[in-house]
Amino acid sequence: MDNVTEFTFKPIGIIHSCFTQKFGIPRQPGLVTAATAELELLPPFNRRECFNGLEVFSHLWVSFIFHETLSEGWRPTIRPPRLGGKKRVGVFASRSTHRPNPIGLSVVKLKSISQESDKLSLQLSEIDLLDGTPVIDIKPYLPYSDYIADASNGFAPPPVANKPVTFSQQAQSFCHQYQQVTGRNLSLLTHQVLSQDPRPAYLQNSYEREHSIQLWDVNIRWHATPDDFHINYMEPVNN
């Protein structure tokens, strides 16, 4: 067998994401349209000419490293949450983060390219990326060849948003003030994230626990009822 060489990748950029913890990140991009991130380009790739022409594309392929689970290694089989966490499939039949080469691949929306002195960044949305994710490559998404209308979803059909999301009075006024100060639509992001029901499969029929989730620098406490997801309380993370 040819001697297979090992490669080292140099990140071209770092993701600054609304998802500041793994819990709650949608399983794939495009599911939470309010999810935004900034891809800050790193030297020597933070040169505007490297991105000339990119602005005419609406979406990008982003290749990245699953840095948060690196230390957990890889497994030959995994139990996809979509199969209730019980059935095992091969790691290469999944989009698991625990892969021999921990490379992720997401199609995300390109909102704009911004430059402030030597800081060059891409503003992205509809992401599924954790804050701090190292990016190793980006390419324009080409629907004529990348979109396959009759492709099969296999055992991973698109998730359905199943229950309404309701906000306590305190959460509503927190979102309003937060948006006044930061310009961020916390209410919409929270609504879209919770409507994906981020809880693990084994908890999806239980209603006793209060859960907490972190989006940007906000801690959100919520619980599920048979009829909705109710947001009890919101507060700044370092409160």
Nearer to ligand SAM, 75 or 95 (CB): 95
Distance from chain centroid for Cα 214: 13
Longest dimension (CA), the chain: 65
Residues 47-86 that bind ligand SAM (CB under 6 A): 66-69
Choosing from 50, 105, 142, 237, the residue that interacts with ligand SAM (CB under 6 A) is: 105
Choosing from 20, 97, 121, 195, the residue that interacts with ligand SAM (CB under 6 A) is: 97
Rounded to whole angstroms, what are the CA distances from 160 to 32, 58, 124, 202? 12, 25, 23, 17
Candidates 6-14, 71-79, 124-132, 143-151; binding stretch for ligand SAM (CB under 6 A): 124-132
Choosing from 11, 16, 21, 28, the residue that interacts with ligand SAM (CB under 6 A) is: 28
Q: Is there binding between residue 104 and ligand SAM (CB under 6 A)?
A: yes
* CA–CA dist 208, 58 (Å, integer): 43
CB of 150 to ligand SAM, least distance (A): 20
Candidates 71-79, 117-125, 129-137, 154-162; binding stretch for ligand SAM (CB under 6 A): 129-137
Which amino acid does the sequence have at 227? D
* CA–CA dist 52, 129 (Å, integer): 24
> 102 is written with which tokens?
């921990």
Burial category of 94 from C-beta neighbours within 10 Å (exposed 0-12, middle 13-18, buried 19 and up): buried
Footprint on this chain of ligand SAM (rule: CB under 6 A): 22, 25-29, 66-69, 95, 97, 104-106, 128-130, 133
